[in-house]
Structure 1
Amino acid sequence: MSISISEKLKTLGIELPAPTAPVASYVSVTQANNLLFISGQISKAPDSEVLAGTLGRDCADEQGTEAARIAAINVLAQIVAHTDGLVSSVRRVLKLGVYIAATHEFKDHSQIANGASDLMVAVFGDAGKHARAALGMSSLPAGAAVEIDAIVELEESRC
């Protein structure tokens, strides 16, 4: 019997929120064969509070790393909603795009993005190791500090 993503997160002390619905003209997830393309998920905590701010101005690095972790949890909620929710249904996290609201002087984007990357490895082990882009943005939706999109490969039998 395989462990669910929700159970794995509980062992890490994390509660999985309900997946968020799109707020504009797009869908949260598309699937092509065994690939899931997950739309950007912002750093919105389960209590509906958006972790907002701009790194290098009004948001400390620790807050940015936590915002990345929360956005990654929201990515996981989308994966669970579109699969049977088992860790084994994910063959590999292929790529994360991590968008960070930051001043042009801010230089530690990769450190902030580790909040998401470390979580993926904690949940999926080696299958959570991925390619990544960590980019600075002048602003993000709802004033969020971080937004993350993802490409995830599913096991063939889960398609």
Structure 2
Amino acid sequence: MPTPEQNLAELGLALPEVVPPLAAYVPAVRTGSYVYTSGQLPMRDGALIRTGKVGADVTADEAYECARLCALNALAAVASQAGGDLSRVARVVKAVVFVASTPDFTGQPAVANGTSELLAAVFGDAGIHARSAVGVTVLPLDSPVEVELVVELDA
């Protein structure tokens, strides 16, 4: 069975460096066997890949890609609490996906699939999780998407 890192490589992806905090918090906290990530933005090389509201400045497809990158950044934060080894993930428990969108945009679940589908591809059945997809007015730095994860590690 391939490792999560091998699954990422097969998708043409690799874990990035953990995105440094933008304020007074840490990227992830481990308590017992659980890791809780802070909200992760679609940052690549220190910059947001998109800004604006989904349904106006950002298409649903672009937001899906943002959600996917947010999940990748969240996995980097998880790995930082798991000794750098995603094979220690026993289960992705929950994903919360915030989508900054116009009042008439109702496709938050499809945007959130960018996160959910990546997690399932990386972890198989252990990546299938509970989820909330929430439309909001604005996110930090005018990001279109922000993702939080709760992950259980093996003993």
Q: Could you say which TM-score interval applies, normalised by the shorter chain? A: over 0.9
Partner in structure 2 of residue 130 of structure 1: 129
Preserved CA contact (<8 Å) 1:109 1:134: yes
Preserved CA contact (<8 Å) 1:44 1:144: no
Hey, what's the Cα distance between the residues in 2 that align with 1:2 and 1:110?
Answer: 29
Structure 2 unaligned spans of 5+: none
Structure 1 residue 18: deviation in Å?
Answer: 0.3
Supply the AA of the counterpart residue of 1:57: A
Matches within 5 A, 1:61-76: 61-76=60-75
Structure 1 unaligned spans of 5+: none
Structure 1 residue 47: deviation in Å?
Answer: 6.0
Preserved CA contact (<8 Å) 2:89 2:151: yes
Partner in structure 1 of residue 11 of structure 2: 12
Preserved CA contact (<8 Å) 1:102 1:137: yes
Partner in structure 2 of residue 100 of structure 1: 99
Q: Does 1:140 align with 2:134?
A: no
Structure 1 residue 81: deviation in Å?
Answer: 1.4
Partner in structure 1 of residue 116 of structure 2: 117
Q: Is the partner of 1:122 in helix, strand or coil?
A: helix
Q: Is the partner of 1:40 in helix, strand or coil?
A: coil
Runs of 4+ off more than 6 Å: none
Structure 1 residue 20: deviation in Å?
Answer: 1.0
Preserved CA contact (<8 Å) 2:29 2:81: no
Partner in structure 2 of residue 26 of structure 1: 25
TM-score between both structures, scaled by the size of structure 2: 0.93
| Length, aligned pairs only | 155
Supply the AA of the counterpart residue of 2:54: L
TM-score between both structures, scaled by the size of structure 1: 0.91
Preserved CA contact (<8 Å) 1:2 1:86: no
